[in-house]
Amino acid sequence: MLLEWYHWAVLGIVLVASELVVPAFVLVWFGLGGLFVAILLAALPNMSFIAQLLLWMSASIALVILWFKVFKPHVHKTASGRSSAEAIGEVGLLVNNVEPFKKAKVRFQTPLIGSDVWECISDEKIEAGTRVKVVSVEGSLLKVTRA
């Protein structure tokens, strides 16, 4: 079986276009690998089928690795790996009463550093149901004040 450069070009375009249907952002790299083989095959027309396949697989895998290691390294961090400084200034709803220097719980509308309910402390007495704002992070506790 002998593939011509335009076979690889069509395969590459189909794979890149199929990324619109399957939004995993992986097929595009295999499509670009196919386009790379098409360009190389147009310049070197007497390449064997096995060499074409090896070149396509190598180029595709190299592009996937390049994408995930170089261009998008921060995407795969877990929620707990994010900075606790992101919590400062967030507003939540106090679940139960908080007394000065005693623990209580605060609930956030969207998860904050991996959870939507956090233990908190405060320097003042605040009743349950009050909106509070995070002023600092002290270990695993959020220090809050009235919002």
Q: What's residue 81's pLDDT?
A: 42
**Which pLDDT belongs to residue 121?**
92
Residue 125 tokens read as 């007495």
This prediction has a pTM of 0.51
Please state the φ and ψ torsions of residue 137, each to the nearest 5 degrees. Answer: -115, 120
Q: Residues 70, 62: contact at Cβ < 8 Å?
A: no
Burial class of residue 37, CB neighbours in 10 A (0-12, 13-18, 19+): buried
Exposure class string for 52-71: b at 16+ Cβ within 10 A, else e: beebbeebbeebbeebeeee
Q: Going from the N-terminus, what domains does the chain have, and what CATH number goes with each?
A: 5-71 (no CATH), 80-146 (2.40.50.140)
Give the pLDDT confidence score for residue 69 in this predicted structure.
82
Q: Which tokens belong to 82?
A: 């994010």
* DSSP character at residue 21: T
pLDDT given at position 80: 45
**What Cα–Cα distance (Å) separates residue 51 from each residue in 3, 37, 60?**
11, 10, 14
pLDDT at residue 1 above 80? no
End-to-end CA distance of the chain: 71
Tens digit of pLDDT for each residue in 96-122? 999 987 899 999 888 776 778 889 999
pLDDT in tens, 34-84: 999 999 999 998 899 999 999 999 999 999 988 888 776 554 444 444 456
Instruction: Specify which residues 98 forms β-bridges with.
Output: 126
Beta-strand relationship, 104-112 and 115-121: antiparallel
pLDDT at position 73:
58
Q: Are 105 and 119 in contact, with CB atoms under 8 Å apart?
A: yes
